[in-house]
Structure 1
Amino acid sequence: MVNQSELNKDEIGHWNRFVLENGGSFLQSFEWGEFQESVGRRVFRFTVPSSSAGADFGPLRQSFSEASEAMQAQFIENTIPVIKKKYWYCPKGPTMNRTIRGQEFRDRIKDLIDEVKKNLPPNVIFFRLGPEWEIKQGIEKNLESLGFKKLHYDIEPSQTLILDVTRNEEELLAQMHEKWRYNIRLAKRKGVKAKLTSCDDVNFAGYFEKFYRLVDTGTSERKSIKHHPREYYRKQLRINNPPTPLSKGGAGGLKIELFTAEYENKIIAANIVAIFGQRATYLHGATSSEHREVMSPHLLQWEQIREAKKQGCTEYDFWGIVNEHTIDKRKKSWEGFTRFKKGFGGQEVNYIGYWDWPLDKFWYAVYRGVQKFRR
């Protein structure tokens, strides 16, 4: 296991570089782990060497710095209410080396299981993986054979829409639904102004309060959407380690930005976007029930896409849709979100979902039973 206190700046950069080079998520970035610690959760990081490096994990420093890694995994410890047990969750992870295939793929997952089990505290009853591995890769049988249990719902969405933003703006507009292009033009004509702000902006505190007011009384009130406490969003928006391109020897870096849409001197929509490597992700959104006729969400989303292009991104992830692969109760309530996102174009991507490895079968059965009842 990699201990954060043991890592220097180069090794932190190495962690992010591995995630980026192998198509990993911002939720597996080092900065996301630091953010989770800032809100009171413990974070644990693991590296798994390739078969050529031998089965022994070796000294932490040596195994972490060599270019022979097969996998990295960042786990976040969560407490289960009432029963006071814990579980480890690897959000959108682990990240597997792109070159790993076939039997070695299965073997390296087995290595991760063994290493995690050796480091788990006794009150942890299971650990959970939620990798960005696509359904078409046929990985599910490997996980089942290793003792993983498929979760009957999603944590982060397993179905998403990814837009290729390497195209020029005219091409991006052309592939949208015509009504979406019209709504963007309409918002501009009506005087809606979209703005990017970040934690170092002198007016950030005011923008943040207006964003949270929308979260607390706008979207959530109308759609019964659960949201995080104020301080969770505030700390999230303090993540500001500008990404540097791998092509220029960069080591990644995660940046979280706040976008707002203003109409008649009032903020009526606001979104949070994460930028990690060459992917921007639309993470959170909030809208007012007022002035819906000016179509501010359409313009705001378009300006986020344009800003992603400016910052060197090649992909824009809309972070969640529903389709035939959706397995939980989101399907009905997310139909409107899905239509809105699909109007901008993009390619559907379907991941394998979430998988638990039980350690305490009794308490895990209790936990699953309660979750099925609640959901």
Structure 2
Amino acid sequence: MQPLTYHAETDPRRWNDLLAGLPTHHLLQSWEWGEIKRQTGWWAHRLFFARQGAVVAAAQVLTRRLGRLPLAVQYVPKGPALDYADPVLTVQVLAALEDYARRSRAIFLKMDPDVPDDTLRGRAILDLLRHRGWQAAAEQVQFKNTALLDLTAGADAVQAGFKQKWRYNVRLAGRKGVTVRAGTEADLATFYRLYAETGGRDGFLIRPQTYYHDAWQTLLQSQGQVGGCLLLADSGAETVAGLFIARFARTAWYLYGASSSQQREAMPNHLLQWEAMRWALAQGCTTYDLWGAPTEMVESDPLWGVWRFKEGFGARFAPHIGAFDFAPSGLTYYLYTVAMPRVLSLMRRGHLV
């Protein structure tokens, strides 16, 4: 067995370029995402794992110290990135992360690798994690499951895969005078206003405007492997909906969507999604991740309506193994599990997600 070494990487371009070359990679492991989190008190430690000098895995570890205590919580969002078909490498990387958590005096290290759970490989990873003492996390930080759309066949084939009603609604938006434009940093305040309205209407958490402004600005200004685009739907002189899409390598993610309670019958969201797909195709992307699907495929799931909207564009349900915690000290982890509302409150205030 070839030994595995790891080291910290400090060059943004090298990090993104090598990460993009790994079999699995995700926007949340990009350099830019770590910088977004650093603005809210999380420190990004970027680790490359190498065999005989060749990088074979990567993990961006977000770390947050707990006040004056010599303790921390750690999180590897949608990572680590590696070839999970290589069982030896998987074990080596897990062992290295466990060692890193111990040396960092972490209460726990949480990860939610981008690994499907509906495959033999996914089930093998689940068995391995449990065997090594990782615990299924009581709380998911990201959506456990998602909706993926294959873009490889091109724009015409993608639209042909829409349900008939969805194609009709895209055309209807145009007939009703809805137009879509690429927004700039000057439009971020308008988008936030719509996003806050959407959160109030649909009942999800809205953070301060500065958090979103910093994140959106970072992604809009990115170049190379990372990019972002703000798309806004206008009806006459009024902006009635918008979405923010970002890409890493050849995958695009639908990160944020917002709409006014007005003009909904004009179907601006259908047209926005179509334009987002066209943007992703123009960027060379082969996959569009619509970011979020039900935890359980039942109509009572809170995301069922969202899933039906995404399914109408031809997206497929993509279940993942979810979040797991490694706790160097079972006692410390137990104490914090009992007091978990306090920990979760801290994580949310620190904008872990």
Q: Superposed, which structure 2 residues align to 1:348-367 within 5 Å? A: 348-367=317-336
Cα pair 1:236 1:256 within 8 Å, conserved: no
The structure 2 residue matched to 1:242, chosen from 206, 223, 243, is 223
| CA distance in structure 1 between the aligned counterparts of 2:266 and 2:126, rounded to whole angstroms | 45
Unpaired stretches in structure 2, ≥5 consecutive residues: 1-5, 346-353
Q: How far 1:107 sits from its partner (Å)? A: 3.0
| CA distance in structure 2 between the aligned counterparts of 1:339 and 1:80, rounded to whole angstroms | 40
- Residue type of the alignment partner of 1:271: L
Unpaired stretches in structure 1, ≥5 consecutive residues: 54-65, 244-251
Q: How far 1:232 sits from its partner (Å)? A: 1.3
Q: Superposed, which structure 2 residues align to 1:1-375 within 5 Å? A: 2-3=7-8, 7-8=10-11, 12-21=12-21, 22-50=23-51, 53=52, 66-67=53-54, 69-78=55-64, 86-97=72-83, 101-118=86-103, 120=104, 122=105, 124-135=106-117, 136=119, 137=121, 138=123, 139-197=125-183, 201=184, 204-205=185-186, 207-216=187-196, 218-239=197-218, 240-243=221-224, 252=225, 254-322=226-294, 324=296, 332-371=301-340
Q: How far 1:191 sits from its partner (Å)? A: 0.6
Between the aligned residues of both structures, percent identity stands at 30
Q: How far 1:152 sits from its partner (Å)? A: 2.8
**Other-structure match for 1:58:** none
CA RMSD of aligned residues (A): 2.6
Cα pair 1:155 1:354 within 8 Å, conserved: yes
Cα pair 1:256 1:273 within 8 Å, conserved: yes
- Residue type of the alignment partner of 1:49: A
| CA distance in structure 1 between the aligned counterparts of 2:199 and 2:71, rounded to whole angstroms | 30
| CA distance in structure 1 between the aligned counterparts of 2:179 and 2:127, rounded to whole angstroms | 50
Q: Residue by residue, what CA displacement relative to the aligned partner does 1:278-299 show, whole Å, maximum 9, x if unpaired?
A: 1110001111111111111111
| CA distance in structure 2 between the aligned counterparts of 1:221 and 1:341, rounded to whole angstroms | 21
- Residue type of the alignment partner of 1:208: L
TM-score by structure 1 length? 0.81
| CA distance in structure 1 between the aligned counterparts of 2:46 and 2:39, rounded to whole angstroms | 16
| CA distance in structure 2 between the aligned counterparts of 1:111 and 1:354, rounded to whole angstroms | 18
| CA distance in structure 2 between the aligned counterparts of 1:286 and 1:194, rounded to whole angstroms | 14
Q: Which moved more, 1:108-117 or 1:349-358?
A: 108-117
Cα distance change of structure 1 residues 72 and 350 upon mapping to structure 2, 3 Å threshold: same
- Residue type of the alignment partner of 1:14: R
Q: Residue by residue, what CA displacement relative to the aligned partner does 1:107-158 show, whole Å, maximum 9, x if unpaired?
A: 331123123422x1x4x31111111012121201111111110013321112
Cα distance change of structure 1 residues 363 and 355 upon mapping to structure 2, 3 Å threshold: same
| CA distance in structure 2 between the aligned counterparts of 1:116 and 1:84, rounded to whole angstroms | 13
Cα pair 2:146 2:318 within 8 Å, conserved: yes
Cα pair 1:325 1:350 within 8 Å, conserved: no
